[in-house]
Chain A
Amino acid sequence: GNSVTQMEGPVTLSEEAFLTINCTYTATGYPSLFWYVQYPGEGLQLLLKATKADDKGSNKGFEATYRKETTSFHLEKGSVQVSDSAVYFCALVGRFSGGYNKLIFGAGTRLAVHP
């Protein structure tokens, strides 16, 4: 079936360290891929997205490239800040049975950045 698998957390980093959060997916067809971020006590916010193979989504210094050959959409940031501490969710949208679009989430990865 359709699913998203992302690395388990928590990920603990020092400020200015390099971040990678791995995400792989299983889907039929050509899904759109997303990263969402949830700061403490808040709802989910769209961080970045990519709608076709080889697209790179980017926002606030975060990047992710849609790799169809490896079915991956890894999130990266060159230098994290304390304010990046949050839970990050990888997700996909595709057309499933019945013709509906559904957003399928990974389990989420908690990132903690220390000064």
Chain B
Amino acid sequence: DVKVTQSSRYLVKRTGEKVFLECVQDMDHENMFWYRQDPGLGLRLIYFSYDVKMKEKGDIPEGYSVSREKKERFSLILESASTNQTSMYLCANGDQYGYTFGSGTRLTVV
């Protein structure tokens, strides 16, 4: 089975900090995605990538950037964390036959 690993389950950061959320896949999938999940808003796509060094904005990219230097790793970067970025962040990979999700990182910005 494809495995998607997010490096942290829980993070607490201060306002203004630069935050890195890491995601690693153990298969050779080209497609990787970052979502955030908030109560009442469901899952919203932040960024996605279809190949190394390639990235595309999703529906809510403001305040975020991404990095994909290697195929197996897709990082989400909060350039200057703010309290409204407190959320559950989910990484996924896959294609039209299905996506595999990581366990999620619950980020709290104080």
Binding site for B on A (CB under 8 A): 32, 34, 36, 42-46, 49, 51, 89, 93-95, 98, 100-103, 105-108
Contacts and interface: CB of A to CB of B under 8 A. Distances in A.
A105 B38 CA distance: 13
B33 A103 contact: yes
Interface stretch (B63-71, B76-84, B89-97): B89-97
Contact of A42 (B42, B96, B104): B104
A105 B101 contact: no
Contacts of B100: 46
A18 B50 CA distance: 41
B: interface residue count bin: 20 to 34
A106 B42 contact: yes
A100 B48 contact: yes
A45 to B, nearest CB: 7
Contacts, number: 55
B31 A101 contact: yes
B98 A49 contact: yes
B67 to A, nearest CB: 19
Contacts of B60: none
B99 interface: yes
Contacts of A98: 56
Given A43-B90, A107-B42, A102 B99 contact: no
Contacts of A45: 101
A102 B48 contact: yes
Given A43-B90, A89-B43, A108-B42, A101 B103 contact: no
Given A98-B56, A103-B33, A103-B92, A46 B98 contact: yes
Contacts of A36: 101
B103 A46 contact: no
